[in-house]
Amino acid sequence: GEDVEQSLFLSVREGDSSVINCTYTDSSSTYLYWYKQEPGAGLQLLTYIFSNMDMKQDQRLTVLLNKKDKHLSLRIADTQTGDSAIYFCAETLGGSYIPTFGRGTSLIVHP
Amino acid sequence: NAGVTQTPKFRVLKTGQSMTLLCAQDMNHEYMYWYRQDPGMGLRLIHYSVGEGTTAKGEVPDGYNVSRLKKQNFLLGLESAAPSQTSVYFCASSYNGEPLHFGNGTRLTVT
């Protein structure tokens, strides 16, 4: 099976909160990342969290890490149409510089 | 500061033709990567390099070759293109485990 799993689609109404979920399987992960890909562009780093942290907040973004369940989530408050994109979860194992990416979640924001 | 630059942005090849994709980074990063992105498949690592003069195989290396003669450049070659290599190719670079910086991609169609 995949090392990093995400649901493929999420649809939300403008102004609502979005929660994108990710599960990973390797307990030795050291870094966990969220990247955003807009149409026709490359991936841009949104935020990342060290595996010894539970939460990280950055303006409208909140990352939660549940190490026991190997679950990572990205919450976007007050979702806007400009947030429509594909969001990738990724992990890097200790001692490795090769991240493993999930398949990406397409976030669709409608009025 | 250009970051990661990929050329060309688009290319159409006929089956059996060859081509080279160029990736250049100006951040003095040691690590460089080539990924391909296909619908529903996420990002798959083709080859990567941990420093000038070194290369290594990723998840899907068959049909591709790479070279890293200079630290700032990472070339991806297709010796005999096949329709299965129709994809969007992304180059990325990183510094010793820090998050990856991506280029904007090359869209390749093989007919």
Instruction: Please state, in angstroms and rounded to a whole number, the distance separating the CA atoms of residues A7 and A27.
Output: 21
pLDDT of residue B1: 63
* B73-78 β-sheet, strand order: B4-7, B19-25, B73-78, B65-67
pLDDT computed for residue B39 by the predictor: 86
Closest chain B C-alpha to A40 CA, distance in angstroms: 7
Q: Which residues of A touch B54 (CB under 8 A)?
A: none
Cβ within 8 Å, pair B41-A103: yes
pLDDT tens digits, B13-46: 999 999 999 999 999 999 999 999 998 888 999 9
For A30, nearest residue in chain B (alpha carbons): B97
Mean pLDDT, to the nearest integer, of A72-77? 96
Of residues A73, A86, A76, A108, the one with CA closest to residue A37: A86
One-character DSSP codes across B48-100: EESSTT--EE-SS-TT-EEE-SSTTEEEEEESS--GGG-EEEEEEEESTTSPP
Percentage of the residues of chain A whose pLDDT score is greater than 70: 97
